[in-house]
Structure 1
């Protein structure tokens, strides 16, 4: 599986001729480095409804004639916007053509902004994405929580994307513990440096990971690594 980072929490995963994008916040993201028009995928996956994750999902789904996969309430909102959608919920697993998705807990909030109003978008989630014999875990926006140990015990996680920005999610110290609990072999730090409030040093975080025997990948937008 090839993982390409497009800033903030956006990740493109490719394997076996299939590709999916997670949390495609590209327009308005000063660090994305790519236009939604350049995205070619078989599905869009969302961890929750906040605008810096929901992003360009509707445009991308329409352009690629592909489904948006999300927690039920968020999926139904997407469907109301004229796209294909597949609703799931926390703990559920589903096989698609060339990949599998399972939603895990994430401790955060989730809503969609419409004008001056906020629409409830179901529970936030993490995503276990399996393509071939590799599993990538996107934790979404989350605090550190004890059941990360259980997620790590139940799944062989080849790589994980963990937020390190603090303020709105866990910070580097908690993310380091999360990586250990998840037993991840490789870690991509996400959700940092997009805005001044979440400034962190991804390279320093990766150095701390290496001290625990975990390979860190503080990627710049457009850079990739292989599982």
Structure 2
């Protein structure tokens, strides 16, 4: 399993040869818009992706869905999200979707997927209802990971390891709209997971963090916080996690 950090909360997961794009946010992203090289790569050249089999959406805020149509049409991807977001892209955009809600695991070719509670909000820029925000729990032969989406700290996170041990959790750490660093450490305790990929920070002025201090706080709690540059990849194996720059 590989996780490529792309920007903000946008990642690409590679599981069993399938490519899953999470919460695509490029065209309205200030980091991308202000960098001609990144703009050309992700907007003009579709990120140089050869394929995107699935697009997973945690909620309807623009910084998680603004480029769904762009990539879904190019790659004929299946959009997976909550029932309301799926209906929105099906009925208004005529895209392929699979709607789910808080419930059982659902089997896909890459593994089993469960939609998990998130304490946040969810509405499209045009005012359309975005359903209940959530995260995704992946159970695969290559390992289990939890991608929380935008959320505050919730005690429900303590239920997640009861389904199976996690190899990694992807958590927001920027504060203001989501958990901050201290709360993410508490979340990792609930999750029983000591390896955290931090997302949703430094994209906007309101969610700036001190990365060195954040990493130090995690180390002080005997945990490892991964803060990746755009394009860096985490490879998850049976007994280790490797980090490399592409």
TM-score (norm 2): 0.86
Equivalence for 2:163: 154
Question: Cα RMSD (Å) of the superposition?
Answer: 1.5
Q: How does 1:50-199 map to 2 (within 5 A)?
A: 50-80=61-91, 81-114=93-126, 118-199=127-208
- When Rg is computed on C-alpha atoms for both structures, the one with the higher figure is 2
- SS class of match (1:161): strand
How far apart in 2 are the matches of 1:204 and 1:222?
23
- Cα 1:131–1:30, aligned 2, differ >3 Å: closer, same or farther? farther
Residue 179 of structure 1 and its aligned partner are, at CA, apart by 1.2
How far apart in 1 are the matches of 2:142 and 2:42?
30
Matched residues, number: 224
- SS class of match (2:124): strand
Equivalence for 2:242: none
- Cα 1:12–1:121, aligned 2, differ >3 Å: closer, same or farther? same
- Cα 1:226–1:185, aligned 2, differ >3 Å: closer, same or farther? farther
- Cα 1:154–1:96, aligned 2, differ >3 Å: closer, same or farther? closer
Residue 134 of structure 1 and its aligned partner are, at CA, apart by 1.0
Checking the alignment, whether the CA contact within 8 Å between 2:15 and 2:142 is kept in structure 1 is: no
The worse-fitting range, judged by mean Cα deviation, of 177-186 and 81-90 is 177-186
- SS class of match (2:30): coil
The worse-fitting range, judged by mean Cα deviation, of 177-186 and 198-207 is 198-207
Checking the alignment, whether the CA contact within 8 Å between 2:90 and 2:96 is kept in structure 1 is: yes
- Cα 1:174–1:194, aligned 2, differ >3 Å: closer, same or farther? same
Checking the alignment, whether the CA contact within 8 Å between 2:57 and 2:65 is kept in structure 1 is: yes
Show structure 2 runs of 5+ residues with no match: 33-37, 237-246
Checking the alignment, whether the CA contact within 8 Å between 1:94 and 1:100 is kept in structure 2 is: yes
The worse-fitting range, judged by mean Cα deviation, of 53-62 and 43-52 is 53-62
Answer 1 or 2: higher relative contact order, Cα 8 Å, separation at least 6: 1
Residue 211 of structure 1 and its aligned partner are, at CA, apart by 2.5
Checking the alignment, whether the CA contact within 8 Å between 1:6 and 1:31 is kept in structure 2 is: no
Show structure 1 runs of 5+ residues with no match: none
TM-score (norm 1): 0.93
Q: Does 1:18 align with 2:18?
A: yes
Equivalence for 1:31: 31
